[in-house]
Amino acid sequence: MAVYKYKVVDASGKNKKGEIEAQNQEQAVNKLKSDGFTVVACDEAGAMDKDIEININRKIKPRDLSVFCKQFASILNAGVTIITALEMMSDQMENKTMQKVLRETKAYVEKGGTLADGFRQHSKVIPTIMISMIEAGEMSGNLEVCFERLAIQFEKQGKLQGKIKGALTYPIIVCIIAVIVIIVMVVAVIPTFSDMFKDMGMDLPLATRLLLWLSDLFIKRWWLVLMIVVAIVAAYKGFGSTNVGKHVYGKIAIKVPLFGKLTVMQAAANVSRTLSTLMASGISLVDAVEAVSNMMDNVWFKEALLNAKDQVMKGVPLSKPIRDCGLFPTMLPQMIKIGEETGNIEDMMDKVADYYEEQVDMTTEAVTTAMEPLTMVVLAGIVGVIVAGVYGPMLSMYEGIDNL
């Protein structure tokens, strides 16, 4: 199908422009007219005119999902039909991926499909929780309420992810700067001293020999360095795609000092918040646990929740498998048990989510505080090696002259 760029005027007299897929220009014009538009222009888009949709097939950020759900709920509450609401939202969404999803979902709904099934066609970029809650909202007739809850869910999820990224930003930047400094030193600075070191005719310290070796490696065998880096990255990703690799990386993420506690707290917060949101929308406990498991990136948490789902289907209380897996903080299964006994598990999960989100804040601050002196120690060590490698032979030479 060809892509046509159009300019139209809607029923309210507002000018709109965009793109539409059709077999030919006549079909494109007919589609626009059937939607109630007055067509001003409709021409086939050339290769340079088409929108470059770099974000297609990439997951949409929680912040964008939160904005969409909040605005969509407001439009539905105003009495606007789902098809019109999808069209309005697709016109104003800046995210190209979300824009395409909404347009294709609108076309699916127009053919008689449900809104949930329309979004399900894009399950690679739309979270499972969103599809499940929309489906529950359509069945119960409370679609607006479900979108309002989703807006809160994605807003909190986005804030949580932002705090985690904030804790990682500082050490990552420092490491990148350290690598750049090392490369500049061994490529631009060390070579100016290499001839002088060779003329000394003396045994060079280990730090100096290391710097000279690195300088020779980066200048004369840079291709080998590039091949090694590519091989390491490929091996890391390849191993991570295997079942064993997923378990190894998952266990490291849980056990690594400083960040391990943060990983566990974030998982507990996500599980609690999502369970509360899903169950409050009328989704069964079994389906809610399965939906939460599909959201987990760490394979250990995913498998623990899938096992919990199987146990719940057999009549076992959810608190038992959550406690027995030994991955989550002890407070989580205890609060789930209280919710099971009182028959109000969704409210209990909402309170637990608030608690663990506060814990993530505190843990993030603690990690950031601890990382600052650690990164300074690493930088000091790198600078120390460079200083020792450059000035060590010179100091030894001066000491030899003084002893004459």
How does pLDDT run across 243-260, given as a tens digit for each residue? 898 999 999 988 888 778
Q: Which fold has domain 260-363?
A: Receptor-associated Protein (1.20.81)
What pLDDT, on a 0 to 100 scale, did the predictor assign at position 230? 93
Provide the pLDDT for residue 199. Answer: 67
Range picked from 18-27, 116-125, 134-143, 211-220 for highest mean pLDDT: 116-125
Q: What is the pTM of this model?
A: 0.66
For the domain made up of 62-156, the CATH class stated in words is mainly alpha
**CA distance between the termini of the chain:** 88
| pLDDT value, residue 107 | 87
DSSP code, position 186? I
| Dist CA 278 CA 173 (whole Å) | 38
What pLDDT, in 10s, does the model give residues 194-247? 666 666 666 667 777 777 788 888 888 888 888 998 999 999 999 988 989 899
SS3 170: helix
Region 323-346: mean pLDDT is 87
When pLDDT is averaged across residues 132-141 and rounded to a whole number, the result is 79
- Please tell me if the domain spanning 62-156 has the same topology as the one spanning 260-363: yes
What tens digit of pLDDT does each residue of 32-86 get? 777 777 777 777 766 545 444 444 445 678 888 888 888 888 888 888 888 888 8
List the domain boundaries for the chain: 2-44, 62-156, 260-363
Looking at the chain, the whole-number percentage of residues with pLDDT higher than 90 is 5
**How many Å apart are CA 34 and CA 87, to the nearest integer?**
14
pLDDT of residue 201: 62
Radius of gyration of the chain (CA): 29
d(CA 6, CA 252): 52
In this predicted structure, what is the pLDDT of residue 67? Answer: 87
Confidence label for 396 from pLDDT (cuts 50, 70 and 90) = low
Angle at 298 between CA 295 and CA 299, to 5 degrees: 95
pLDDT at 55: 42
DSSP string, 250-272: HHHHHHSTTHHHHHHHHHHHHHH
